Structure 1
């Protein structure tokens, strides 16, 4: 079941947003296992996305082949951040097939992306087709700047 929920601001540490962005950037680097060290987070991987502007809508396309969007995808919005969490489940009869190579990734995957300012979370929509999750975020137009006000200076 796909869900969209919102958490209150008190749930997040002051630098939590920056920490999440840094962690995901670090995980996306091509040098993930230098000199035999394993930097992967167990059971998690980074969801690959394309993000672009389509008129007044921010569009995020996430690559999630082999996922049942109604059961295995959770989309949440909190503190100006969009979080996509998905899980690809392991086939039950996997061990009986005598694999020569087994490279398909199973387990939990996440991605956290910043949202544009002043987005109404209730207007965000998501759809899934042919292994691509598409999230559409309507972006409000920038408020018009007020005319400058001249403040008189009084002398006493």
Structure 2
């Protein structure tokens, strides 16, 4: 039986509290510039921004390897999951992450890209209407 250290147990409890307070993040809820309120975090410390092409999602995932992460986009929901385990002769430690972000609008799913460098996952979700400039209409 693997026994958790007090710090691992505390991390698990805090992750449960964050998930119960924040649930899945829904970008259709109006917030200034569609950014999360200052200090809002989830188990993976996720941030969402908009740019000229659509949405950019960043997730801090130090310690994970690229092949331990799974990323899917289905029906307007970006899902990130990962499982990292470290074991030696005397102990074993496991870290899991699961986050979902609802993206409003028409995301061009075939053009979604992701990169993972230095423990930071960056997902770019271009939208069909991104970059459209407003057209000024003269009133006669």
Structure 1 and Structure 2 fold alike (TM over 0.5): yes
Q: For the residues of structure 1 that align with 2:72 and 2:18, how far apart are their CA atoms? A: 17
- Output one character per residue of 1:109-141: Cα deviation in whole Å (capped at 9) or x when no partner: 100001131112111000011110000001121
TM-score w.r.t. length of structure 1: 0.54
1:26 maps to 2:14: no
Q: 2:98 maps to what in 1?
A: 110
Q: Is the 8 A contact 2:19 2:43 kept in 1?
A: no
Q: For the residues of structure 1 that align with 2:102 and 2:113, how far apart are their CA atoms? A: 16
Shift in Å, 1:94: 5.0
Q: Secondary structure at the match of 2:88?
A: coil
Q: 1:84 maps to what in 2?
A: 80
User: Where in structure 2 are the equivalents of 1:145-156 lying within 5 Å?
Assistant: none
Q: Is the 8 A contact 1:75 1:83 kept in 2?
A: yes
Moved over 4 A (4+): none
Aligned length: 98
Q: For the residues of structure 1 that align with 2:111 and 2:20, how far apart are their CA atoms? A: 31
TM-score w.r.t. length of structure 2: 0.59
> Which of 1 and 2 has higher RCO (CA within 8 Å, sep 6+)?
1
User: Which among 43, 48, 51 is matched to residue 46 of structure 1?
Assistant: 43
User: Which among 42, 53, 61 is matched to residue 56 of structure 1?
Assistant: 53
Q: Which has the higher strand share?
A: 2
Larger radius of gyration: 1
User: Where in structure 2 are the equivalents of 1:87-102 lying within 5 Å?
Assistant: 87-95=83-91
